[in-house]
Amino acid sequence: MERLTVLYDASCPLCVRCRDWLERQPAYVALELLPAQSPEAQRRYGAVPWLGAELVVVSEAGEVWAGPAAFIMALWSLEGYREWAYRLSGESFSSMAERFFLSLSSKRRWIAGWLTHPECNGDRCHRRHAHAESPYR
| 18-62 per-position pLDDT tens digit | 899 999 999 999 999 999 999 999 999 999 998 888 889 999 999
Is the pLDDT reported for residue 78 higher than 90?
A: yes
Domains along the sequence of the chain with CATH? 3-106 (3.40.30)
Q: pLDDT-derived band of residue 64, with 50, 70 and 90 as boundaries? A: very high
pLDDT tens string 94-137: 777 677 666 666 666 655 565 655 566 666 665 555 444 434 33
pLDDT score for 134: 39
Q: Output Rg (C-alpha) for the chain, integer angstroms.
A: 16
In this predicted structure, what is the pLDDT of residue 101? 63
> d(Cα 77, Cα 97) in Å, to the nearest integer?
17
What is residue 90's DSSP assignment? S
The reported pLDDT for the residue numbered 83 is 92
Mean pLDDT of 78-98: 82
Listed in order, strand segments (DSSP E) in the chain are 3-8, 30-35, 56-59, 64-66, 119-121, 124-126
**pLDDT on residue 33:** 97
Confidence of residue 90 (pLDDT cuts 50, 70, 90): confident
Q: How far apart are CA 28 and CA 134, in angstroms?
A: 39
